[in-house]
A and B are shown apart, each in its own frame.
Chain A
Amino acid sequence: MSDLIEKTRLCSVCYKMCRDVCSVAAATRHEADSPHNRGFFAYQIMQGQADLQKEVVDYFYRCSMCKACREACETSLDTSEIMLSARSELDDALLPENLLAKKHAIVSGSIYQGDSDEIRQLLSPYINPENPECLVYFGRRLRSNGADTIRSMIAVLLKLGVDFSALPEEPDTGQLAYFLGFTRDASGLAKNFQETIESSAPQRLVIMSADDLRMIKLEFPRMGLEVKDIEIISLPDFLLEVIKQKKPALSNWNAGQVTYHDPCGLGRELRIFEAPREILRMPAGIELVEMAFCRDQAPCCGYGAGLEITHPEITRKMATRLVSIARDSGAKLLVTGCPTCRSVLLDNLAVTKNNDDNNFPEIIDIPMFVERILP
């Protein structure tokens, strides 16, 4: 605890060196949203100089835990760690209203509805819960509304001749509950995930969503959990490996300039930067241009750590900012490394008032891109 207090103190006295990379502060332009000030508010409470009130607590949830602050900090201070610790200590009475209303659904793993009819139909030929060679975990959000991505992924795997399976119903990894501070409930969900996957016993588990992958690879060990004896692989690593193995002929798709968004969970957290880029560079008719902020400085789409639930208005600003940065790269196509990011961007662009969106690039994810480059 004293270590955390000292880290909080250091954040609060810093010259705000990470402020420009904080995706929330960069989107809202509000000083109170900078990691430095979040640290300052937290430190004031720790020192008894301020009361724990809803108004302050709200700022503890205005963080998508994208880890940009940690990457920018030469002393590796991580304000999101402070925010996570704060969230896990709070009574329900202090929670943001939006969060309180959805808490039960989050902690029971039912925040997203089950498969839509369309998705159930798409996946039904591939449902095989027992000893599959390759099990694809789409994630509960994608299973409820990601028909486009799922259709593309199925098409890609069929074209590449990959034998794959899906679960009849996917357990929640607990990532949303965890990052919102409901750590005990998250533990239960994570354990259920581990047991379900292990009982299915695939040789290999492909994780579509960056946040689910981050949860399994980085947070499960902290909770004393491990999905044993199963190779767990990210979506871009998997697709790259299969494409290299199968060596398919690629289409003549002349997409021109394409840019790539590094999801926080894949990029900053798991350091998976090159695999998706290698895929994007494969077709001859494509020129990969980087956004002004990419890799460790990539902006967050606004989904992370439940921000989309607690502060949807901030998610909208972050999504718009990300797509604006993509537009400014000159690319007409933005490829996201995570289908969740794509879904968040599209959902939020639809409601922005700032409609100079005739210049916004088309937004697709990696499975959709690969589908287009395979004849």
Chain B
Amino acid sequence: MRPYYEFHKSMVETELSEAIGPDRVSTSHIDRLAYSRDSIVEWTCPLPEEECSPPLADFIVWPETTRDVAEILKIANTHKVPVTPECGGAQGSGSTLPLFGGIIIDTKSLDKVIDIDTDNHTVTTQTGLICQELESRLNAVGYTLNHLPQSQHVSGIGGFLSARSAGVVSTKYGKISEMVLGMEVVLPTGEIIRTKAVPNSAAGPNFNHLFMGAEGTLGVITEATFKIRPLPETRKFLGLLFADLPSAMNAARLIMRRGLWPATMRISDELETKYFHHHESGSQMTLMFDGFEELCELEFKETMKIAKELKAEDLGEGPGRDWWENKRYSVAFPSSDHPLFGIPTPGFIRVSGCIDSAGTFDYLVKVQRGLKEIVENMQMFLAAHFSHFYTSGGMIYPTFVGQLIKGSQAARTYNEVWRRGINLSHNLGGTINHHHGIGLNLGRFMKLELGETGMENFRRIKNAMDPNNIMNPGKLGL
């Protein structure tokens, strides 16, 4: 389909160059190709048909200020050019793919740390920093954001906010949505809005929550202020082996009920326990407590009481410490025999995905059993762990991997796995996604999550804020 601006594409390029500088605008094929890719196999998720070209933007822009972003969006509105903001590009649901061409705003060029305030424990930063870039700056002054996803070397601050992400210590410190105090956002019209960076407020609805999770469909987040904390004085680790998954889950529930706040609490299902932790049976739990010495000791002791009552085997600190210090990122590094990255059998395509969701404690084991059955019935493999807990429940991180015969059926089968998995999650009472985001891949399920009325009202908000529908079109089911 020919875009509206096809006739005057060079005019759009000229206006962008005049607005932010010609060295910050590119139409080169190489640049456009670099932004056509997502994190999951081959080109993208969902699978394209054979020989499908990747979605290419027409323009890549690198703004350095909020004003730059505002000018870009005004130009995009004038000419009705789609805009896709991208930071780390680490999502696997197609959220940053420029499906309808247009402009990719690479927010990584918004890379200034504006203020680290160690008296009030806040950091104000532009949103284009990769997580580790910000974390290193904070660590150098003895602080941490405590938002440490496995993708912290890849994903960026803007992406975290846009997708409502979670890091591995979220059980204690919350998701990114609990860490943000205020933000600056450029609206689709080019207007700029700023929410106050205060600890809390009752002055009307919290506008932060309008933009978090919107994945760029309601504007571009250019700056944010977050809570920060001193680096923990110490960390204490514990590994436990329970007889089975329900026992481990019960332990997690009791730990949360007791008022203990492990920084991390990870439960592996039986398959993950066998293949990754090398136990013949059972369900492994690893915990990390952090903070000052006495606190860690107390939480450790209380957790051990619960473990003992449930007859768990004490694996010592080894599994937890090893994971934290050596293996936290390992799954993401490719090798030829890696289940996600190995060369597929000739004639096949390798597929994978994470049907993550969250729900109450009684939901978690049920959904794991159900997903396992769905995936195995489709001749694929699923291993799950549970890694983000709350007082009332937690999150499941179920990864499926398989090989599908190349051809038109592959995309249909892939989409069917998701359909069955998401429907199961929804029907059992869980959310359709905990922290990886919706993007393109799960957009069609948003009406399950919000209901018809909710989805209709989401569209009304979208139409009111983005009347020309330029912001990340085709995502979130909008």
Residue ranges of A at the interface with B (Cβ–Cβ < 8 Å): 6, 9-11, 13-21, 26, 29-32, 34, 37, 40-41, 55-56, 58-59, 72-75, 77, 290-293, 297, 328-329
Contacts and interface: CB of A to CB of B under 8 A. Distances in A.
A297 B132 CA distance: 11
B29 interface: yes
Given A10-B341, A31-B35, A40-B37, A17 B332 contact: yes
Interface in B131-155: 131-133, 136-137, 139-140, 151, 153-154
Given A15-B151, A19-B154, A75 B333 contact: yes
A15 B39 contact: yes
B132 A31 contact: no
Contact of B34 (A31, A290, A297): A31
Contacts of B29: 55
B154 A9 contact: no
Given A15-B90, A16-B154, A292-B137, A75 B30 contact: no
Interface of B: 28-31, 33-35, 37, 39, 41, 62, 86, 88-90, 106, 108-109, 111, 128, 130-133, 136-137, 139-140, 151, 153-154, 329-330, 332-336, 341, 343
B106 A30 contact: yes
B31 A72 contact: no
Contact of A13 (B41, B137, B140): B41
Contact of A16 (B41, B90, B132, B341): B90
Contacts of B343: 6, 9
A131 B66 CA distance: 64
B335 A30 contact: no
30 contacts: A6-B336, A9-B343, A10-B341, A13-B334, A15-B39, A15-B90, A15-B151, A15-B154, A16-B39, A16-B88, A16-B154, A19-B88, A20-B130, A20-B154, A21-B153, A29-B106, A29-B128, A31-B34, A31-B86, A31-B89, A31-B108, A32-B31, A41-B30, A55-B29, A74-B329, A75-B333, A290-B140, A328-B137, A328-B140, A329-B140
B30 A10 contact: no
A59 B332 contact: no
Contact of A292 (B109, B139, B330, B332): B139
Nearest to B335: A75
A207 B33 CA distance: 43
A29 B109 contact: yes
A34 B29 CA distance: 16
Contact of B30 (A55, A291, A292): A55
A55 B137 CA distance: 35
Given A13-B41, A292-B139, A328-B137, A30 B34 contact: yes
Contacts of B332: 14-15, 17
A14 B132 contact: no
A14 B334 contact: yes
A74 B333 contact: yes
A30 B132 contact: no
B333 A14 contact: yes
A238 to B, nearest CB: 31
A9 B131 CA distance: 26
Given A29-B111, A30-B106, A31-B35, A56 B30 contact: yes
Contacts of B137: 292, 328
Contacts of A9: 343
Contacts of A329: 140
Nearest to A56: B30
A37 B31 CA distance: 10
A21 B131 CA distance: 12
A297 B130 CA distance: 14
B31 A73 contact: no
Given A6-B336, A17-B333, A32 B151 contact: no
B399 to A, nearest CB: 13
Nearest to B350: A13
A287 B282 CA distance: 52
Given A19-B154, A21-B153, 8 more contacts: A6-B343, A14-B333, A19-B130, A19-B153, A30-B106, A31-B108, A74-B329, A297-B136
